[in-house]
Amino acid sequence: MPTKELKIGLFYGSTTCYTEMAAEKIQTQLHELSDRCQVELFDVKDTNLKKSEEYNLLIFGISTWDFGELQEDWESSWQDIKDLNLAGKTVALYGLGDQLGYADWFQDALGMLHDELAVLHCEFVGYWPNEGYEFTHSKALVAENSFFVGLSLDDENQYDLTEQRIKEWSTQVLAELDAI
């Protein structure tokens, strides 16, 4: 009997293309890990967030700008989040930030997105350990500050770790979904 296809909607905002490139790498990695994974990419600049309601499995990607600010495309659609019906849907998050240049605000937008989605009663997968990072503060930490609420990438200072982190996180997410 054939196994069911996993249709995943991946929604991201990207000003400098790094969040978009991460989305493409996640898409490729998930498909390589399981040919059942079909990940569709959506730039929130061009796609209304209502589209996310069509998927039971979601990935949201966001970058933190300056002093803990939202990426501009996410900021433009931020008010739309509260009107989404995501109850019971499974959500994984990833974020990009600069841990050295903005150590007091590292991954803050990722934490803010998590908090906005949490009130919508979705189920989260893909929490990521904070080991191997150097920062002072982050709104994206949970579990006694041991984990980020999603994959944390720093292409400014740790670009060489991005590929491996995406691979490990993608494997983790699929394992949490029991989909490998």
pLDDT score at 3:
62
Backbone angles phi, psi at 95, to 5 degrees: -140, 155
Q: Which residue has the higher pLDDT, 42 or 178?
A: 42
Whole-number Å distance between alpha carbons of 107 and 98: 8
User: With a threshold of 0.75, does the pTM exceed it?
Assistant: yes
Domains within the chain, CATH numbers bracketed: 6-176 (3.40.50.360)
Q: How confident is the model at residue 171 (pLDDT cuts 50, 70, 90)?
A: very high
Q: Partners of 95 in the beta sheet?
A: 62, 152
Q: Partners of 94 in the beta sheet?
A: 61, 151
Burial class (CB in 10 A: 0-12, 13-18, 19+), 127: buried
pLDDT score at 180:
42
Q: What is the mean pLDDT of residues 134-145?
A: 94
pLDDT score at 179:
55
| Overall size of the chain counted in residues | 180
pLDDT tens, 5-59?
889 999 999 999 999 999 999 999 999 999 889 999 999 999 999 999 999 999 9
In angstroms, what CA-CA distances link 138 with 108, 124, 172? 5, 18, 22
Whole-number Å distance between alpha carbons of 125 and 146: 15
pLDDT tens, 95-110?
999 999 999 999 999 9
